[in-house]
Structure 1
Amino acid sequence: MNEVLQNIKARRSVRAYTDRQVSAQDLDLILEAAAYAPNGMHYETWHFTAIQDAAILTELNKVIKGAFAKSDEPRLRERGQSETYCCYYHAPTLVIVSNEPTQWWASMDCACALENIFLAARSLGIGSCWINQLGQTCDDPEVRALLTRLGVPQNHKVYGCAALGYESANTSQKEKWIKEGTITIVR
């Protein structure tokens, strides 16, 4: 089978990581792959913020939980009050993907970049998982202040994040299948 197709079919979301950090060289390759993703009008209005500092990741999780604790939605409030909840599954690296919300295609550009991140990570033996929580909370004042401090442009909305790291040995991966009726071909 074609190597690219094999990589696509083998990719799975990883939610349990070892402490081993993603190397600077591998992170650079992953971020370069993100920047090569298709984007509207080739404007490249997106921004990628990679965090590998454990203390900052802990602080980010804390402010996200703080935003959740204020939510009207019971499920989010519960996460905000949980002592053990970690939105990035304790991955040693988190890449925040943001864009100017004034571009109607901003979310699509970010989705393409995130998929490139996931596929590049998989090709390097690095596990990944799409993380949505910052997209839900990036307008909270405390979350926004931290994002700005981390270099996320003030005029950007977060459209998703990628948790990156090496998969814990004791986790199992779900089988992937294509749901019946998913594909229609008109010839």
Structure 2
Amino acid sequence: MNETLYNILTRRSIRQYQQKQLKDEEVQSILEAGQFAPSAMNQQSWHITVVQSKEMLQKINGTCRAVFLKSGVKNMEERGKAENFSPFYHAPTFIIVCGEANAIAPQNDGSLALGNMLLAAHSLGIGSCWIHAMNYVFSTEEGKALKKELGIPEGYVSVGAAAFGYKAGESPAPAPRKEGTVHIIK
């Protein structure tokens, strides 16, 4: 099988990580893959924030917990109460992707960049998991303060984030694919 197709078909969301930090050259390869994603009119409207500082990861975790606990959404509140709470599964590297709000397609551009990073990580033997929680967190007052502390420029909207790290266990089996999601017209 073609190596690219193999990586696409075998990548899985990983939710358990070793605490060993990724090598700088691995992170750079992942980031480069993200920056080479297609974007609307080649605007490259993304802003990518890499967090590896244990203190900042704890701050993000604490802010997320506080926001989840007062969300008014039952499953978020329950998740926030968990003793071992971490929206990014305690991964040693957390990457947040935002898009320039005034760009043609910031959500699409950032999603493609994040997707490239997830696939690049898998090709390097690194686990990853898309994390959508930051989109909600950044919409709150606490989240806006955190966004500023993270150095995300004004005028950028949250697209998504991802946890990255060396897997601490086996990859899960793939979920069955939904049927009826493809329509071919010849």
| Partner of residue 41, structure 2 | 41
Q: Secondary structure at the match of 1:157?
A: strand
Match of 2:115 in 1: 115
Equivalent residue for 1:93? 93
Partner of 1:56: helix, strand, or coil? helix
Quote the Cα distance in structure 1 between the aligned partners of 2:111 and 2:45. 13
Q: Which amino acid aligns with 1:184?
A: H
Distance (whole Å) between structure 1 residues aligned to residue 139 and residue 183 of structure 2 = 39
Question: Alpha-carbon deviations, 1:24-73, whole Å to 9, x = none?
Answer: 10101100110111111211221000011122111101101111222121
Bigger shift: residues 88-97 or 77-86? 77-86
One-letter amino acid of the counterpart of residue 118, structure 2: F
Distance 1:39 1:132 in 2: 20
1:149-183, Cα deviation, whole Å (9 max, x unpaired): 222112212110010001112x4512344332222
After TM superposition, what 4+ stretches of structure 1 lie above 3 angstroms from structure 2?
A: none
For residues 109-159 of structure 1, the C-alpha deviation after alignment (integer angstroms, 9 at most, x for no partner) is: 111011100110011100000001101110222222222122211221211
Counterpart for residue 124 of structure 2: 124
**What corresponds to 2:178 in structure 1?**
179
Who is 2:105 aligned against?
A: 105
Q: Match of 1:20?
A: 20
Identity %: 39
User: Matches of 2:87 and 2:27 in 1, distance apart?
Assistant: 20
- Paired residue secondary structure (1:78): helix
Q: 1:103 to 1:122 in 2, by over 3 A?
A: same
Amino acid at match of 2:123: S
| Greater alpha carbon shift after TM alignment, 34-43 vs 119-128 | 34-43
State the superposition RMSD in angstroms: 1.5
Alignment size in residue pairs: 186
TM-score norm. by structure 1 comes to: 0.93
Match of 1:57 in 2: 57
TM-score, length-scaled by structure 2? 0.93
Moved more, 2-11 or 175-184: 175-184
Letter in 1 for 2:130: W
User: C-alpha distance in 1, partners of 2:83/2:42?
Assistant: 43
